[in-house]
Structures are given as C-alpha cells and as structure tokens.
Amino acid sequence: MTQAVTRRPRRHLDGVLLFDKPIGWSSNAALQKAKWLLRAEKAGHTGTLDPFASGLLPICLGEATKFSQFLLNADKVYLAEVHLGVRTTTADPEGEVIETRPVQVDAAAVLAVLPPFIGNILQVPPMHSALKRDGKPLYEYARRGETLDRAARPVVVHRIDLVALAGDRLTLRVHSGKGVYVRTLAEDIGAALGCGAHLAALRREAVGPFRLADGCDLPTLEAATEAERDAWLLPADCLLGDLTRLDLDIDSADQFSHGQAIWRSGLRVGAAYAVYAPDGRLLGVAEGDEDGKLAPKRLIATRQ
C-alpha cells in the first residue's frame, strides 16, 4: 500500500535569505531546498556557484525576485584554494588530471606574479562554463571533447590577497567584479608560476554588501522553527541600497502603484530610484525619463 505524501502549503513570502550553499549541491538544488523549508511560493537566486564550491548564495523570495538583477552585477569576494603543480581538464577538482609538475614556489614568487591579474584584465572563459554558443552552453561542447575559440572578455579584479602557502596549496582571497572565473584565474596564476595549477576549493564570502558571516547554513535552517526561519529573511529593499530613495505623498503613491509616471523635480534621466509610500512601504523601482517624470519599472504587487 502506497503511503500518501502530505503536501506542504506554500506561503506568500517576500525577502532575501543569505544562504550558505553546501559543497556538492548545485545552486538550483540549494534554492529548491530553501524554498521548500520556507514554504515559499516563489524564489530565485542571484548568481550560481559550482557544485564543488560553497558559500554565500543570496536567495530572493516573492517580490524580492523582481530586484535580483541588482545583485547580478555586484562585486564578489572568494576564498580560493589553489592546488599547485596539478592541471585538470576543467581547471577545478571535477576534471581529470592532465599534467603534474614539481612545485618550488615561495610567497615572494606568488606575490611577484599577481600584479598582472589585478585591475582591468582580459580573461578567456573556460570551455566548462555555462556561456552559450549557438544556443548551447560551452560545457556541452567540452563534454563531447570539442574546444571552441573563445574571445577574451574584459573583467575587473579589484585585489588578490595571499592568505597562505603550504607546500603545493596556495590560498588566495579574490575580490572581483562581475564575470570573473576564479578557476581560470587559478590556472593562469599556476602557469605564471611555471608549475601549473587548478582550483581545488572555492568559498564565496561576499556578494555586494552581503557577507557570509551574516548568512544561514542548511543545518541551521533545517533545525529552526518556521518563525526562526522567517527571522533570517532580510526585507526586499535590502537589494536596493545603492539606489536613491524617493518618498511619495498619498496621491502620488497611488498613481505610481497603478503604473502611472509621476512628475518630480530634480530627477536624473536614466537614473534608477527606490520609491516608497508615506507609510514607508516599498512601492518599487522607477527610472527618471526625458519628460522629468518618475517612470515605474518594477512594482511591488498589492496583496489583499
């Protein structure tokens, strides 16, 4: 006799969970688990982490998903463990070893090769990545043994700090902009050191203004009561901290909530604004248009 499975009713839940993704989980699996534990109707994450990596994965719930794009371009901080002397097919621990070399590297040698990798640099995306060519991710070509030409892309690495060096294990803290592949960085640094390398482990410590130290891991979330889980959620407007805040009066707030552009002095054309009602409720995000009006772009849904 088949036992019936009890369905957990979903909730209207808005906010942002700073989740510590476990090693071995895909970002989508972590998202679905957190969504299930919180019984949230709608959820999305703001940038993937590879299964072998761990760390900060901001998860947007409900209306906060409308503002997730504001984190996609955010700076990130990673703690990277680089295995010197060993190259793999994927430049990370999931690939096959293709070359080993002896390692005779000290801290001075590491510090000497880092400067060219800091600042505005060009980086060739790895074949084992989700970037698409003719509608297919590059990793599908790589799994078939194909290597395609990839153009180098401009990216920004703000700083790289040497944290530790013990034998063939190098630990770096990387503060980067959008689109930087840390495993490519690790492989290129290994090449510059003359011994080769791959990224052995990766932990994301920060995304934009958010820090891993303020996040919640899976065991904590699983052991918590529903009220305790809800307490981990940040308000949706935590994603809008870089936007200028505008507070509307009652009439303007009503018009704005219905999708109408509002005239407002001092607006900058093309600038984004976080818009609030008189009672402090977030109404949405707007943009200054050429007519001097505040044009709604993302509105918070009104729930009865």
Expressed as residue numbers, the domain containing 169 is 76-207
Residues 148 and 83 in one domain: yes
Check which CATH number belongs to the domain holding 248 and give it.
2.30.130.10
Give the predicted TM-score (pTM) of the model.
0.89
> Cα dist. 180→106, 122, 158, 176, 186 in Å?
26, 10, 11, 7, 11
The confidence band for 71, taking pLDDT boundaries of 50, 70 and 90, is: confident
Residues 83 and 101 in one domain: yes
Angle 295-299-304 from CA coordinates, rounded to 5°? 140
The pLDDT, as a whole number, for residue 1 is 42
Q: What is the pLDDT of residues 5-32, one digit of tens each?
A: 456 788 989 999 999 999 999 999 999 9
CB-facing half-sphere around the CA of 300: CA atoms within 13 A: 23
Q: What is the pLDDT of residues 282-301, one digit of tens each?
A: 999 999 999 889 999 999 98
The pLDDT, as a whole number, for residue 5 is 42
**Which tokens belong to 109?**
């040698």
Report d(CA 256, CA 246) in Å as an integer: 12
- Name the amino acid, one letter, at 91: A
Whole-number average pLDDT of the chain: 90
Residue 110 domain-assigned (yes or no): yes
Residues 81 and 203 in one domain: yes
The β-bridge partners of 18 are 58
Report d(CA 294, CA 292) in Å as an integer: 7
**Which tokens belong to 119?**
């600042």
Check which CATH number belongs to the domain holding 61 and give it.
3.30.2350.10
Residues 67 and 112 in one domain: no
Catalytic residue among 14, 20, 50, 168: 50
Residues 21 and 129 in one domain: no
Q: Residue 125 above 80 pLDDT?
A: no
Q: What is the pLDDT of residues 83-111, one digit of tens each?
A: 999 999 999 999 999 999 999 999 999 99
Residues 83 and 170 in one domain: yes
Residues 192 and 85 in one domain: yes
Q: Residue 3 above 50 pLDDT?
A: no
Report d(CA 181, CA 262) in Å as an integer: 42
Residues 225 and 262 in one domain: no
The pLDDT, as a whole number, for residue 302 is 72
The pLDDT, as a whole number, for residue 7 is 67
- Name the amino acid, one letter, at 245: R
Residues 161 and 267 in one domain: no
Tell me whether residue 106 is one of the annotated catalytic residues: no
The β-bridge partners of 93 are none
Query: Do 109 and 189 meet the contact criterion of CB atoms below 8 Å apart?
Result: no
Residue 87 domain-assigned (yes or no): yes
Query: Do 216 and 245 meet the contact criterion of CB atoms below 8 Å apart?
Result: no
Count of the separate structural domains present in the chain = 3
Q: What is the pLDDT of residues 20-70, one digit of tens each?
A: 999 999 999 999 999 999 999 999 988 889 999 999 999 999 999 999 988
* Sign of the CA dihedral running 255, 257, 258, 262: positive
Q: What is the pLDDT of residues 137-195, one digit of tens each?
A: 656 665 666 566 677 889 999 999 999 999 999 999 999 999 899 999 999 999 999 99
